[in-house]
Amino acid sequence: MSEEDSRTHFGYQQVPIEEKQQRVRAVFDSVADRYDVMNDLMSLGIHRLWKRRAISLAGVRRGQHVLDLASGTGDLAASFAQIVGTSGRVIMSDINQAMLMHGRERLDNRGIVGNLEYILANAEHLPFANNSFDCVTIAFGLRNVTHKQEALNEMQRVLRPGGRALVLEFSHPTNAPLQRIYDLYSFSVLPLLGRCVAGDSDSYRYLAESIRMHPDQPHLLSMLEQAGLERCEFFNLTGGIVAIHRGYKL
């Protein structure tokens, strides 16, 4: 393996592949306690609408089995648990233990128990059998995965035939004026908010950089197709600042 092949991006930095996971974990360890507050501040609350749209496009029904990767504090998992009911099952999974524990405490406090499980797992190597889930989702987590194609391959593997994979992620604005405003906000306002609210500007600078390094909408669509998913499509939200990609295992 060449030196170039042994490195990957962490934001705009090039780091050894084996270091990226540790660095991402440190970012989310740092922000876990203020994660929900920062989400509301950063997006002016619009992230709730993005997630609501993702839940609608997931098409989850009563009695189904759902896997929510990079689940964070569990917004999608909580909604899915209510939809599938007592005859269904939702697994809330994250690679970061601090985020998973914070999410579990949050959902326990809301009384969402019974059909919800919590599993610490790496999206690139899922500890589940083939054809296990009716729906697999990942919201605002794929950009932090070192080997994104491997994670998408795993999502396809654990889906049942007829199941849906859904990726909700920051993406690339579809017009230049919006891109300029978005860049100004991302690199000036976000780190300032991070410093004032979470006491951590570096983590939110990484957030802005990781979004810019994430594949654009057509590229990510081709990655879903490469994973073996079919009928793949994407939906731009808020001018492409966020996109939802969906594909089916047929």
Place of tokens 């990781």: 210
Task: Enumerate residues 6+ apart whose C-beta is below 8 A from 219.
Answer: none
Measured distance CA(144)–CA(96) in Å, rounded:
11
Give Cα 176 distance to the centre of its chain: 25
Measured distance CA(216)–CA(235) in Å, rounded:
12
The answer to whether 54 and 80 are in contact (CB under 8 A) is no
Q: Is 123 annotated as a binding residue?
A: yes
The answer to whether 93 and 67 are in contact (CB under 8 A) is yes
The answer to whether 167 and 159 are in contact (CB under 8 A) is no
Measured distance CA(116)–CA(248) in Å, rounded:
24
DSSP-derived secondary structure for 46-65: THHHHHHHHHHHHT--TT-E
Q: Is 73 annotated as a binding residue?
A: yes
Annotated binding site for S-adenosyl-L-methionine: 73, 94, 122-123
Annotated binding site: 73, 94, 122-123
